[in-house]
Structure 1
Amino acid sequence: MKKKLYMAIIQLVFSVFLFAKSENKNEIFVNGLNINMQEYIKFCDSTTEIKDLYVQRYEVTRSEYEEYLNNFGYNKLKDYSKDGGLFTYNNMMPYPDSAAVLITFYDACKYCNWRSEQEGFEPAYIIEDELPFAVKYFQWKQENGEWVYYVPKMPEIRLNEKANGYRLPTINEYFYLLLGGQEGIDNKWWEEIDITKYEFFANSHFTNKVGSLKANSLGVYDIFSNAPEWIWADTNTYSRDDSINYAKYAVGYALREESLPNFNLIRYISNKKSLSPKSPLERGFIGMRMVRNAE
């Protein structure tokens, strides 16, 4: 009896300690690990350390992102219409708690800093300059009597790896979270899901309410099903002579022809040779999920 009481007290103290470290109910603590992610996902990088993290259970929602838009006077985005019809702001995100999209890489980093400041954390990104807001950054312009495809200069963005503020996950962190950590890799949580529901989410012309599908073994929702998400990684593709406007990665999947029992998530991702880079100033079906250092 005394042993059971003792164990109950230990568990209570441990749970209070974890809660004290983070009072954000949309945030969960994820243990880091020394793990070679390239053994599971070949296009992960060669680093083997995953830090202890606080991870957002859900993607940033439309209503959360609108607080950012309102704060900086970027409300013109709400009039966004790509081609009319289905691809308008409200059709792409029909509910306040839909996963937010139409987020550029620049705005994702700026949003992380803004949220960090709002909540008393040290901003993780050093953004060297301001980029004047535009609904669409790419356009044809005349220069010296010739039409040129104009791409504005994006400010340089650097990461303060020691800051405790919000940031985008690295490529290794993203896939570690996607697989559900070591426990998820071991228990293959994805074999128990109805993959047809995930196919519908991934192929919809709109984002759904966050948390609509089953969480993975870490308690992270929608990381495999709703909006593609920006990650902290880059490539020289599309950079031309501009060392700042490197293409970035937005991770997302359109599931097709995988409606089989015992769906193998690792095999499915590993069949892809690489990720598709995006311009850091591109708007479209790109959203975000934040993490922050727990160390």
Structure 2
Amino acid sequence: MITVPGGHVTLSDRRTERSWTVEVAPYLLSAHPLTRADYAQVTTTRPDGGQDGGRLPAHSVSWWDAVRYCNALSRQEGLTPAYRLPHTAETADTTDGGDGEGAHITWDRDADGYRLPTEAEWEHACRAGTSGPRYGPLDDIAWHRGNSGERIHEVGGRRPNPWGLYDMLGNVWEWCWDFYDPEVYGSYRVLRGGGWFDEHWSCRASVRRRSHPTLRIEDVGLRLARSPRP
């Protein structure tokens, strides 16, 4: 886990032409996306059905899979789980207890367990103090459609950003905690970062994507965050 300093970040949405500034407190963020091996160690299964490539990012992980994983890893390490889920949503055989919408989950912001980054935390970490659309030349920092061979790659294979975070752009999209736009898209959650099959314009620090929290998509994974202990 990398300690990310606090600060301010301005987010924007091209669809609505809206921008907003968020203050971000210090937090911890994994140096790279969660791997297949780490996912399997906690859940005993690989979400994508793969039997090898442990250093590849865990993908085909729904938002619900991601929050359950965070809670399971927290319990395994003796930390307080960040998410309060309905009892029926604690297993991978369910969505969230019936409606699949995520309305019944809450985030305990005082908990020291693992969690998904907020959208503001994600972009703040991705930019790492830089001001351009990317923190370096795209081919040096990201696996995208132009250089990936249209396949996923092991984590950490490209150059990190100035704060030591790998694959913030490209390889797999990463789930965030936030709803995308509840008034228009209901329960859809935010995805960030671009993936191995995306054109260069999708692999930028400001690009937002959305998906339903129950869907498992082959170029979508997650990166772990934690709040520091008081």
Q: TM-score, normalised by structure 1?
A: 0.63
Kindly state the Cα deviation for residue 46 of structure 1 after the two structures are TM-superposed.
Answer: 3.8
Structure 1 residues 46 and 162, CA gap change in structure 2 (3 angstroms): farther
**How far apart, in 1, do the equivalents of 2:62 and 2:200 lie?**
30
Code of the residue aligned with 2:158 in structure 1: it is: L
**Is 1:225 the counterpart of 2:170 in the alignment?**
yes
Code of the residue aligned with 1:102 in structure 2: it is: S
Query: Alpha carbon RMSD of aligned pairs, Å?
Result: 3.1
SS in 2 for 1:114: helix
Kindly state the Cα deviation for residue 284 of structure 1 after the two structures are TM-superposed.
Answer: 1.1
Structure 1 residues 211 and 36, CA gap change in structure 2 (3 angstroms): closer
**How far apart, in 1, do the equivalents of 2:109 and 2:170 lie?**
29
Q: Report if aligned partners of 1:232, 1:248 keep a CA contact under 8 Å in 2.
A: yes
Code of the residue aligned with 1:249 in structure 2: it is: V
**How far apart, in 1, do the equivalents of 2:146 and 2:88 lie?**
35
Percent of residue pairs bearing the same amino acid type: 23
Runs of 5+ unmatched residues, structure 1:
1-26, 81-88, 138-150, 240-245, 259-264
Kindly state the Cα deviation for residue 104 of structure 1 after the two structures are TM-superposed.
Answer: 1.0
Kindly state the Cα deviation for residue 50 of structure 1 after the two structures are TM-superposed.
Answer: 1.0
**How far apart, in 2, do the equivalents of 1:170 and 1:56 lie?**
14
Correspondent of 1:122 among 56, 80, 86: 80
Which residue number in structure 2 is paired with residue 287 of structure 1? 221
Which residue number in structure 2 is paired with residue 108 of structure 1? 66
Kindly state the Cα deviation for residue 195 of structure 1 after the two structures are TM-superposed.
Answer: 5.0
Code of the residue aligned with 1:292 in structure 2: it is: R
**How far apart, in 2, do the equivalents of 1:106 and 1:63 lie?**
19
Quick check: which has more Rg, 1 or 2?
Answer: 1
Kindly state the Cα deviation for residue 247 of structure 1 after the two structures are TM-superposed.
Answer: 1.2
Structure 1 residues 94 and 283, CA gap change in structure 2 (3 angstroms): same
How many residues were matched structurally?
Answer: 215
Kindly state the Cα deviation for residue 36 of structure 1 after the two structures are TM-superposed.
Answer: 3.9
> Hey, which of these two has a bigger chunk of helix by percent?
1
Kindly state the Cα deviation for residue 69 of structure 1 after the two structures are TM-superposed.
Answer: 2.7
Q: Report if aligned partners of 2:140, 2:158 keep a CA contact under 8 Å in 1.
A: no
Q: Report if aligned partners of 1:229, 1:250 keep a CA contact under 8 Å in 2.
A: yes
Kindly state the Cα deviation for residue 67 of structure 1 after the two structures are TM-superposed.
Answer: 2.1
Q: Report if aligned partners of 2:144, 2:199 keep a CA contact under 8 Å in 1.
A: yes
**Is 1:60 the counterpart of 2:40 in the alignment?**
no
Structure 1 residues 111 and 153, CA gap change in structure 2 (3 angstroms): same
Which residue number in structure 2 is paired with residue 37 of structure 1? 10
**Is 1:209 the counterpart of 2:167 in the alignment?**
no
1:48-197 correspondence runs (5 A) = 48-70=22-44, 75=45, 89-90=49-50, 95-131=53-89, 133-134=92-93, 152-154=98-100, 156-180=104-128, 182=129, 184-185=130-131, 189-191=135-137, 194=139
**Is 1:250 the counterpart of 2:191 in the alignment?**
yes
Code of the residue aligned with 1:133 in structure 2: it is: A
**How far apart, in 2, do the equivalents of 1:47 and 1:60 lie?**
28
Kindly state the Cα deviation for residue 127 of structure 1 after the two structures are TM-superposed.
Answer: 0.7
Q: Report if aligned partners of 1:112, 1:166 keep a CA contact under 8 Å in 2.
A: yes
**How far apart, in 1, do the equivalents of 2:150 and 2:185 lie?**
26
